[in-house]
């Protein structure tokens, strides 16, 4: 029997019991919709994490102080700081794989200016910081190497600081006061948003590290060095290069551990991505239980259909139909039911993901492969759970089937 005829016969059979068919599809519809929504939430979380990691910087490598030991006990990362601006200069001079290096000197201060005051973080950085963090300005300009060398009192402020001190206006050209030191605003950073930890990246002021170190921080050692490579593939080699340069600069013999730590945001990204992937698979597995229930419903209704159509099956077999034709017909019917349910479930899942993203504010991503897998899986459920009823129908004895009342 031709496939088109099989589908036509299956469709007529389905339409004879519309309500029963819809109730049978319900499990598949709910299962497919639930799988799509759960996977969309998981993939949305992965996309959000990737976006937040990219916001941290371009192929960024972070050098931080190492650990010290007292009485045989480690005091933890960052407890032994020997990082200096000289290390930054050495890395910049000797590295071959880096396209940017900058010290980062942290300090906190009450900022006075505009309509009032605001407490925020001040970071003393070099001009390469803008390249490393991939952070353009929305107005004005970033400070120059000449500003760094001359220790000029200029600042580039974040969007949050601008909104709180200069609401509704462009603050470029105005002055702010940091610990009684006047700074001229020469730029406003483009909005970055929150980090994965919920910290506001835009609540910040950037200034030349020479100025911050001499006028605000007042200490010799620096808490962090940032660097970046031209491509992600260069990161491992660049880390090893930085480690070698730093060990030589700190005169560390081969038997001593590093007195610094070198990391990159890709490590954090991989850990976060693996976590969300596990959660996505877990959510999808839980939602797939609905598909299992829907498949059992299809098998049940197909067994009822075989019982109701026993005489019809007997007539077809008596007129020369092969058992394989009967088997194929019932398999096609169960598959059509599953596919229609899968299509409806896909539409509801897509709509549910969009609504969840709109009202809950979650990032949801419905990818074409997810939809394709859901449809193929729903068809597979129809074939798997429809096989036993179809096999039972094809195995009927024509004489017994014709006598069936």
| Residue 301, C-beta contacts closer than 8 angstroms, at least 6 positions apart | 20, 21, 24
Sorting pLDDT into bands at 50, 70 and 90, what band is 73? very low
Nearest to 81 by CA among 251, 260, 204: 260
Domain ranges of the chain: 3-52+270-403, 81-258
Percent over 70 (pLDDT), the chain: 79
- What pLDDT shows up at residue 388? 74
CA-based angle 53:40:38, to the nearest 5? 120
Percent over 90 (pLDDT), the chain: 30
- What pLDDT shows up at residue 268? 57
Burial class (CB in 10 A: 0-12, 13-18, 19+), 163: middle
Sorting pLDDT into bands at 50, 70 and 90, what band is 404? low
| pLDDT tens-digit map of 300-351 | 777 777 776 677 767 777 777 677 777 777 777 777 888 888 888 888 888 8
- What pLDDT shows up at residue 283? 66
| Averaged pLDDT of the chain | 80
| pLDDT tens-digit map of 24-41 | 778 788 878 888 888 887
Task: Select, from the ranges 142-151, 225-234, 262-271, 392-401, the one with the highest average predicted confidence (pLDDT).
Answer: 142-151
- What pLDDT shows up at residue 221? 85
| pLDDT tens-digit map of 46-57 | 777 666 666 665
Q: Rounded distance, CA 277 to CA 271, Å?
A: 10
Long-range own/partner contacts, residues 103-106 (CB < 8 A, 24 or more apart): 103/209, 103/222, 103/224, 103/225, 103/226, 104/129, 104/209, 104/222, 104/223, 104/224, 104/225, 104/226, 105/209, 105/212, 105/213, 105/217, 105/222, 105/223, 106/217, 106/223, 106/224
pTM of this structure? 0.61
């Amino acid at each position: 029997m031709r496939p088109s005829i099989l589908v036509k016969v299956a469709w007529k059979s389905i339409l004879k019991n519309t309500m029963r068919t819809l109730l049978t599809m319900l499990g598949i519809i709910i299962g497919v919709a639930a799988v799509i929504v759960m996977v969309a939430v998981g993939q949305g979380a992965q996309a959000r994490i990737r976006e937040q990691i990219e916001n941290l910087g371009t192929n960024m490598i972070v050098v931080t102080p190492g650990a010290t030991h007292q009485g045989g006990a480690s005091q933890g990362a960052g407890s032994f700081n020997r990082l200096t601006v000289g290390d930054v200069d050495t890395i910049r001079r000797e590295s071959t794989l880096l396209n940017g290096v900058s010290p980062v000197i942290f300090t906190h201060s009450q900022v006075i200016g505009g309509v009032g005051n605001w407490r925020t973080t001040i970071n003393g950085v070099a001009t390469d910081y803008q390249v490393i963090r991939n952070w353009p300005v929305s107005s004005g300009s970033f400070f120059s190497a000449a500003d760094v060398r001359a220790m000029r009192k200029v600042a580039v402020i974040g969007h949050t600081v601008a909104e709180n001190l200069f609401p509704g206006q462009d603050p470029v050209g105005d002055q702010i006061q940091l610990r009684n030191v006047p700074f001229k605003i020469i730029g406003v950073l483009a909005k970055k948003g929150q980090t994965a930890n919920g910290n506001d990246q835009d609540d910040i002021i950037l200034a030349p590290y020479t100025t911050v170190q001499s006028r605000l921080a007042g200490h010799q050692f620096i808490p962090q060095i940032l660097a970046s490579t031209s491509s992600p593939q260069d990161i491992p080699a660049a880390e090893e290069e930085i480690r070698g340069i730093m060990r030589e600069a700190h005169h560390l013999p081969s038997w001593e551990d590093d007195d610094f730590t070198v990391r990159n945001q890709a490590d954090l990204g991989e850990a976060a991505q693996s976590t969300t992937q596990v959660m996505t698979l877990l959510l999808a597995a839980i939602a797939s239980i609905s598909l299992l229930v829907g498949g059992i419903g299809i098998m049940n209704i197909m067994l009822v259909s075989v019982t109701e159509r026993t005489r019809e099956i007997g007539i077809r077999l008596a007129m020369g139909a092969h058992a394989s034709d009967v088997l194929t017909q019932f398999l096609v019917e169960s598959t059509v039911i599953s596919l229609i349910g899968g299509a409806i479930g896909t539409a509801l899942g897509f709509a549910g993901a969009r609504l969840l993203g709109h009202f809950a504010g979650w990032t949801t991503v419905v990818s074409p492969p997810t939809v394709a897998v859901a449809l193929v899986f729903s068809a597979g459920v129809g074939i798997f759970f429809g096989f036993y009823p179809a096999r039972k129908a094809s195995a009927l004895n024509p004489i017994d089937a014709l006598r069936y009342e």
